[in-house]
Structure 1
C-alpha cells in the first residue's frame, strides 16, 4: 500500500478559513499575509489540507519513489504562532532570515508571533526565494 499524502489542495474558501481564526489580531495578520503572498507570487491563494494557505504548486519526486504535489510558498495562522512555509534549500534563505526580525525556525517552517515583529520587505524576498528555488529544483512547477 502506497503512502497517502495528507496535504492536498482543496476547493475550500481561503476567506472562510481566515474568518475561523479566533484572534482578531491574527485574523488581521492573515489577511495581510494573503495580500503579501498573492502580490509577491502572482498566484491565487488555495487551501491545502484543513489549515494551510498555499500559492502555486510543484510536483516533487524523491529518489525513494515518494512523490506528490505541494505549494511553492504559503502560510497558516495557527493558534500559537503563524507558520510560514518557505523553501529551505539554499543559503540565501539563511542570509535573508538574519534581517527578518523576531522568528524561530523548524525543519521546513519559519514561525512568527505577529506580522509586526518582522520586516515585510524581507518577507517578500523570502517568498520570491522560495518560489525561484522550487521552480529551479522542480522544473514542472505551475
Structure 2
C-alpha cells in the first residue's frame, strides 16, 4: 500500500532553516516563517524533511486515497523557494498578477527571493488559500 512521504514530523523548523546552505535563502526562510506564522495564526511544523507547514487538513478523494496535508506552507529549496498556496484558480490568478516575479505549478508558486514579490499580496494569497481549503474540507 502507498504511504505518504509528506507527514507532519517533530523535527525542528529552526534546525531545518539553519541547515539551508544559502545565506539569502536562510534569511528569506526566516522572513517567510514570521509572515506565515503571523498570517495563519498557526505554529510552524515540519512536513517531511523539507516543507514548513502551517495548520493541517484531512482530505479524501473519490478514489479512496486520503491523508493529511498542511493548509499552507513553504520550502526554501536550492533552486527556488516553493510556496504551497492553492485556492480558487481565478482568484489566485488575479492575485498572482500583482504578486511580482514568480512561476507557478498546480498548488505551488515558485520565487527566487522574497525581495522579488509583494509580501502584502502573499498574505492575501495565504488567507485565500486557507479559506478555500477549509471550505473544500470542512472537517478541518
Task: Note whether the superposition's TM-score is higher than 0.5.
Answer: yes
Name 1:4's counterpart in structure 2: 3
In 1, the alpha carbon distance for the partners of 2:29 and 2:44 equals 12
- The Cα of 1:74 is off from its aligned counterpart by 0.2
**Structure 1 contact 100–122 (Cα < 8 Å) conserved:** yes
TM-score normalised by structure 2 residue count: 0.98
TM-score normalised by structure 1 residue count: 0.96
Name 2:33's counterpart in structure 1: 34
Name 2:89's counterpart in structure 1: 90
Alignment of structure 1 residues 46-57 onto 2, 5 Å: 46-57=45-56
Structure 1 unaligned spans of 5+: none
Alignment of structure 1 residues 1-142 onto 2, 5 Å: 2-141=1-140
- The Cα of 1:3 is off from its aligned counterpart by 1.9
Structure 2 unaligned spans of 5+: none
**Structure 1 contact 44–55 (Cα < 8 Å) conserved:** yes
Moved over 2 A (4+): none
**What is the count of residue pairs matched by the alignment?**
140
**Structure 1 contact 14–46 (Cα < 8 Å) conserved:** yes
**Structure 1 contact 90–133 (Cα < 8 Å) conserved:** no
- The Cα of 1:89 is off from its aligned counterpart by 3.8
- The Cα of 1:88 is off from its aligned counterpart by 4.2
